Amino acid sequence: MRNITLITTGGTIEKTYDEMSGRLENRQSIVGRMLRRLRLEGVSISIVGLMNKDSLVMTDEDRVQIVELVRTLAGEHVGASRDSSGGVADCHGVVILHGTDTLTNTGECLHAAIPNPAVPIILTGAMRPFEMTHSDALQNLTEAIFATGVLAPAVYCVAHGGALAFPGVNKDRERGTFIKVVPS
């Protein structure tokens, strides 16, 4: 059994329509609804609801919370063998649902703070909420879960059929996806 921890932080991927205000908002996590649409053989997913924010209002303190939780879950690769004692030993990958506007900021923080993770750390989000037609949410969630089983331990952005390793990932607002920026 492959054990994945899925951390929800909010973002467009989990926004729902509020009929009273007429706005899309992060009210509560809907990842359970999304996961029920998938057939996941041999995969166990533990959901950790860390926060429920639009990434544009995330603070440095929020990113520290994300980093500390991921450090606890993903650990650092220090040559220790896995055992069945719980915690890091039982985690085969971490998926973080995150708003796309500042996903790359959090990815860079994770890469800097955990340069040698013991498992793949995957950030993903959506350009359109799960509840809207033509949403990329379910595709990106599916790809992120799959990526934990095939990618080497590192920090990645997984979306729209691609897996980009940090550092150097940026959101391309014109194309509505993520790209890798090669330093000049």
pLDDT in tens, 143-180: 999 999 999 999 999 999 999 999 999 999 999 999 99
The CATH class, in words, for 2-180 is: alpha beta
Q: What is the pTM of this model?
A: 0.85
Q: How far apart are alpha carbons 98 and 7 in whole angstroms?
A: 9
User: What is the structure's pLDDT at 89?
Assistant: 55
Q: How far apart are alpha carbons 26 and 50 in whole angstroms?
A: 13
In the DSSP assignment, the letter for residue 117 is B
136, 159 contact by CB (below 8 A): yes
Kindly report the number of other CB atoms within 10 A of residue 59's CB atom: 9
CA 129 to chain centre: 15
pLDDT digits (tens, 9 = 90+) for 26-66: 676 677 888 888 889 999 999 999 998 888 899 999 999 99
Reported as a pLDDT band with limits 50, 70 and 90, residue 79 is very low
